[in-house]
Amino acid sequence: MNPYIILFLAIAFEVLGTMLLPASQNFTKLIPSLILTFAYCVSFYCLALIAQKLPLAIIYASWAGLGVFSVAILSYMFYEQVLNWQTILGLCLIILGVTIVNLYKTITP
């Protein structure tokens, strides 16, 4: 399977887990707590799968950057958190940085 598909799965599960943190209410709500724990476990499992196929710096930059971007956008949509122009500019720079890192990567065999 393409390592980038697994990377995007890792990002998606990490974002799911992060978005459920407020719903878990400090891990006092069982269902959201179980789902977020499962999501984080799947995310790290996916990261472990691709650690032998892509450079760790590329994996982590993509995972962290796209995760931050996704959580910020979803928090705006679902939790009505404010995004000012500075935040939007920062999010655009994150995407630019992740793109540059991935465009100029060197893949080790």
Answer for the pair 15, 68: CB distance below 8 angstroms, yes or no: no
pLDDT for res 105: 73
Q: How far is CA 54 from the centre of its chain?
A: 17
pLDDT for res 106: 65
Question: Is residue 64 pLDDT above 90, yes or no?
Answer: yes
Give the Cα separation of 74 and 7 in Å (integer): 19
pLDDT for res 50: 95
Predicted structure pTM score? 0.87
